[in-house]
Structure 1
Amino acid sequence: MLPVDRERKELCESLLPGLIDAIQKAAAEVQRLFLSRSFAVSEKGPGDLLTSADLASNDILHNALTKLLPEAVWISEESAQSEARQSYRFAWIVDPIDGTKEFAGGIPEYSISVGLVADGLPILGAVALPAEGLLFAGGIDVGVFELHEKGRRRIQSTVTPALNEASILVSSTEFKKGVFEDAVFADLRLHPTGSVARKLALIAGGRGDANISLYPKNEWDICGGIALVLGAGGKALHLNLETLEWEAHRFNAASLLTYGLIAGSPDLVDALCKRQQEERWPVRREYGR
């Protein structure tokens, strides 16, 4: 677990109420559109869907968060990226809807993800699960909270299970494409479900033990969720394709694409990374089988 930084803690405590308010408003609008099915759908590319709900969520979050911390650059899946973004110390990294395919298909496994980065480190995050009435928010210096209609609870650390007893959340897409069919995964308890930000939030909230992804991820897919995992005392690592070593990702990087993801409690992450190295699980450089 990272040591508490007093200045960073004060900043996060001051921002957290505004962040929660913004993502709750976005979640309410997205869920309204999901239930009414009153949204337009288009394609940004083959199989890459965009809905009017993505854009509505993006507008709500942009309007609120750029006022909340004006000195942070805005990085969102649904916005043009600033050419000078790497010159900023702070960055809001946002996915207005993670799991747009599920959202458009009427599957309630989608989320809204917001992460705040300082000098490459995700220090604060919030992930809303609108269809499930859940919101997880917090960070490395302030802890993590689960908010729902009956109130909020602070996430407490839990006992780490043995690797073969751990509940490991994996991508529905990767699972359907046969990524985990190899016999080396046979002893693991894999649970396919949608939205990587959602999976990370559930793990931070103690509703899963670890996440494995072998496909590339964009920073906006994972920033908010990783902030929560770190805030809950967990660990999240990516594969460096040059050294083939697992390491923590520094956000707002030159490339917004990351490769592979193993997240969860530190002991489980270390054990899974060791398994990947020994068994050579194939971390993909691009989407596809």
Structure 2
Amino acid sequence: MQATDLALLTEAARKSGDIAKRYFQQNPDVTDKPGGAGPVTAADLAVNAMLEGLLQAARPDYGWLSEETEDNTARLKTLCQFVIDPIDGTRAFIDGSKDWAHSLAITEDGVPVAAAVYLPMRDMMFTAAQGAGAMLNGSPIRASKAPMQDATLLGAKPNFDGKYWKGGVLPPIKRVFRSSLAYRLCLVAQGRFDGMITLRPSWEWDIAAGALIVTEAGGTVTDQYGAALRFNNAHPQVPGVLAGATQLHTDLLTRLEPQQPNP
């Protein structure tokens, strides 16, 4: 990682917001991706084009992984990679909600080292660099230390089906939901919520930036089996995400019913 990588991501995230806001609530052109991969808008594509041009020109030796760029194996041969979601929470963007974000990370040898998650409609810029802490609009943030009985967990309703929990018994927590995975992770880092969970295979571009921000805010992030998250995989997914304060993370992990990993 270069010393100026975080500044580069922050600048790019703000430029992304400038573009996306021009499309927001303006009936953006929406199409469905092949294979049920979800919707994409003209705003997603415009932001992606800008980011690809700006970031790859600035760091031509870094690999590139983005939700809106066809993947290839070239990134697997690089030490550092951009991991980008031009708009995380596209459905929220289409619906006119403010809970969508630009998620930008740089990974090195499988580990996030710089990250920016920006919510332009809320003017919230979450940033982190490896070993330097996590920030919201330039001020330090820390994950909460709430015990299980007082915890509020971010997650979609299907994650709280009894089949995922030992004995079919759900943990004694409150559940809330926000659209963007990147935003959910940042809310945990901020301490506004105590943890987050998703038991579905998760795309790297949704979580790389947020994972570093949680870690630098003093939280713990793993996959649903408790293994450290590794990035720049040939198939860029990880088997779910569990994040929160260290003790809460441990308590939740012990209550999860082990699932058969995807082949």
**TM-score normalised by structure 2 residue count:** 0.90
Per the alignment, do residues 210 and 283 of structure 1 end up closer, same or farther by CA in structure 2, a change over 3 Å counting?
farther
Runs of 4+ in 1 over 4 A off after TM superposition: 281-286
Give the deviation of 1:139 after TM superposition. Answer: 2.2
Matched residue, 1:262: 242
1:80 to 62, 70, 84: 70
The 5 Å alignment of 1:169-180 reads: 169-171=154-156, 175=157, 178-180=158-160
C-alpha distance after superposition, 1:53-111 (max 9, x if no partner): 00111122222222332221010010122322211100000011111111112222211
Per the alignment, do residues 188 and 89 of structure 1 end up closer, same or farther by CA in structure 2, a change over 3 Å counting?
same
Amino acid at match of 1:267: Q
2:189 and 2:232 map into 1 onto residues whose CA distance is 22
The answer as to whether partners of 1:102 and 1:194 remain within 8 angstroms in 2 is yes
Q: Which runs of 5+ in 1 are unaligned?
A: 1-7, 240-244
The answer as to whether partners of 1:97 and 1:112 remain within 8 angstroms in 2 is yes
The 5 Å alignment of 1:121-160 reads: 121-147=111-137, 152-155=138-141, 157=142, 160=145
Matched, 1:16 2:16: no
Matched residue, 1:272: 252
1:284 and 1:40 map into 2 onto residues whose CA distance is 37
Matched residue, 2:208: 223
1:78 and 1:259 map into 2 onto residues whose CA distance is 21
Aligned residues: 257
Q: Percent identity?
A: 30
1:206 and 1:126 map into 2 onto residues whose CA distance is 17
Q: Tell me how large the CA RMSD over aligned residues is.
A: 2.0
Amino acid at match of 1:99: G
2:95 and 2:24 map into 1 onto residues whose CA distance is 10
Matched, 1:108 2:108: no
Matched residue, 1:208: 193
The answer as to whether partners of 2:48 and 2:86 remain within 8 angstroms in 1 is yes
The answer as to whether partners of 1:169 and 1:211 remain within 8 angstroms in 2 is yes
2:28 to 39, 50, 63: 39
The answer as to whether partners of 2:144 and 2:245 remain within 8 angstroms in 1 is no
2:66 and 2:41 map into 1 onto residues whose CA distance is 15
2:144 and 2:160 map into 1 onto residues whose CA distance is 26
Amino acid at match of 1:187: P
Q: Which runs of 5+ in 2 are unaligned?
A: 163-167
Amino acid at match of 1:211: M
1:180 and 1:22 map into 2 onto residues whose CA distance is 36
Between structures 1 and 2, the one with greater strand share: 1
Amino acid at match of 1:232: A
2:153 to 168, 173, 180: 168
Per the alignment, do residues 111 and 285 of structure 1 end up closer, same or farther by CA in structure 2, a change over 3 Å counting?
farther
Return 246-255 or 65-74, whichever deviates more.
Answer: 65-74
2:235 and 2:33 map into 1 onto residues whose CA distance is 20
